[in-house]
Amino acid sequence: MGRTVVIIGAGPAGLTAALELLRGSGMQPVVLESLDEVGGISRTINHRGNRMDIGGHRFFSKSDWVMDWWRSILPLAPESTADGMSVMPDGDRHFLVRPRLSRIYFLRKFFDYPISLSVGTMRNLGVRRLARIGFSYLYASVFQRKPERNLEDFFVNRFGGELYRTFFRDYTEKVWGVPCGEISPEWGAQRIKGLSISKAMVHALRKILRGSGDGLAQKRINTSLIERFLYPKYGPGQMWQLVAEMVRQAGGEIRHGLTVTKLRHDTGRVVAVVAEDREGRAIELACDFVISTMPLRDLILGLSPPAPEQVRRVAAGLCYRDFITVGVLVRRLRPSRGSLAGHPANLIPDTWVYIQEPDVRLGRLQIFNNWSPAMVSDSATVWLGLEYFCQEGDDLWRLPDGEMGRFAIAELARIELIDAADALDFHVVRVPKAYPAYFGTYDHFDVLRRYTDGIANLFLVGRNGMHRYNNQDHSMLTARLAVEAIVSESSSKEGIWAVNVDDEYHEEKSTSDGRSTGPGV
């Protein structure tokens, strides 16, 4: 048997690493997962035939390697409609091509997202507010805040102060629970990247001139502006369940119910991983390499012998934002100008809606029917996902499921999206450490990176592994690069850390076989 690679976590990064290792490396991956399911936050929850996507996962990437990898496992649906959208295939193992529409709900009205200068937007905002937005944008274009010290500076420089206060400040602070002035601008650089008012306007003009028939060839479009994406018929978990099957069939191991508590290391290398099962029994696995997607704070604080005091202090100060999704099944939505004509349940066309209203704690709303018709068991009903950003142990987190469900239904009724009497069922899912935060001790993150980079056979990948707000395609790319480093016996982690630093990570910097030819990955 070849050398053993212990992989912590069976999410997109961990499963990608396991499958890539099995494709010719001769190494044995052993995946340790605390949950009974695979997929991490990309798993699909099945509640009485209604499926929930935790956080919403568009299968779109500017990396050809990622797109080809996905489609090698789930081919495109064999048929499509005249507008290029997939019809529901007879078989189960297919990608659907879905239209992307996300809007902002504010002042009990729907606004384009990203904000555009459409007639509807101008009518909703009113002349006075529009004038303030225009003048503040021009002012910010001339008088830039340099250096950008925080997320407020980042937003104001790109959108102007008035638009920032109208559409960015309150929602962002609802997500993170702290003022934008306390959040690193790096979050905006990774999540919003090159988006600005001018780019959104140029995109809208091109759409008018060329139409929207670009299919999936959207590589040069900012990710926030893409109009179509792939989606598994039964949600993102379907992809990762298939990958897990492939890992097992190829000889890899996936062990469930094991929570990693400790990494033993000696002379700059991890020598064993210690995990705890559900009965509290410790299990120790010797290893040649470790690929970790577990929260970085827990990994560092669990090192044996302990990391230096400064490293432990910075690790202990890393913060996370936790997440509750409440699935709510309703007979119908309340009629609105955004409803689909003739739909019996007054379905709106959005995949998700950003809830900007200040009188509710609801942050984002998914309409699972629009991700895939197979996500809802009865097409005459509407299956919604209400997303709440919270802190583990706070008042929302502690609410019993029944109270949380009733609270969510009441909020939907308060903002006039449903009548409470139309609610049929609900299901509550709590996700700890869903979002690595860019405050706390994050400004000293380089201390953690230098220390962990010095452990030669330890590779940090994925969202929580790197404490970086990665999408699943970013996580997959970091996993692939970790595997390449292990196979080539390189201890360099530079390429892994370069993923998702800027828009260049996924541009035309690769050879025909998808291998990196430069530092931008």
Q: Are residues 407 and 261 in the same domain?
A: no
Point out the domain boundary residue: 203, 228, 259: 203
- Alpha helices, H only, 338-461: 368-371, 395-398, 401-414, 445-453
Which one, of 12, 56, 3, 52, lies nearest residue 30 by Cα? 3
Q: What is the pLDDT of residues 74-122, one digit of tens each?
A: 999 876 443 445 555 567 899 999 988 899 999 899 988 877 667 777 7
Summarize the confidence of residues 15-19 as an average pLDDT. 98
Q: How many secondary structure helices (H) and strands (E) does the chain include?
A: 19, 20
User: Looking at residue 508, what is its pLDDT?
Assistant: 32
User: Looking at residue 86, what is its pLDDT?
Assistant: 54
DSSP 37-84: SSSGGG-EEEETTEEEESS---B--S-HHHHHHHHHHSPBPS-B-TTS
User: Looking at residue 85, what is its pLDDT?
Assistant: 55
Position 248 pLDDT exceeds 90: yes
513 — pLDDT class (breaks 50, 70, 90): very low
User: Looking at residue 505, what is its pLDDT?
Assistant: 35
User: Looking at residue 97, what is its pLDDT?
Assistant: 93
Q: What is the pLDDT of residues 422-460, one digit of tens each?
A: 999 999 999 999 999 999 999 999 999 999 999 999 999
Query: What range defines the domain where residue 370 resides?
Result: 42-62+70-102+319-437
Number of domains in the chain: 3
Indicate the pTM of the whole model. 0.87
In a domain, 458, yes or no: yes
In a domain, 215, yes or no: no
Average pLDDT, the chain: 87
Q: What is the pLDDT of residues 173-207, one digit of tens each?
A: 999 999 999 998 887 776 665 455 555 544 444 54
Which one, of 263, 242, 261, 410, lies nearest residue 326 by Cα? 410
Q: What is the pLDDT of residues 376-433, one digit of tens each?
A: 999 999 999 999 999 999 999 999 999 999 999 999 999 999 999 999 999 999 999 9
Q: Are residues 119 and 58 in the same domain?
A: no
Residue 406, token pair as written in the block = 């009733």
**Cβ atoms 311, 44 nearer than 8 A:** no
What's the CATH number where 368 sits? 3.90.660.20
Summarize the confidence of residues 342-351 as an average pLDDT. 90
What's the CATH number where 492 sits? 3.50.50.60
In a domain, 279, yes or no: yes
User: Looking at residue 89, what is its pLDDT?
Assistant: 58
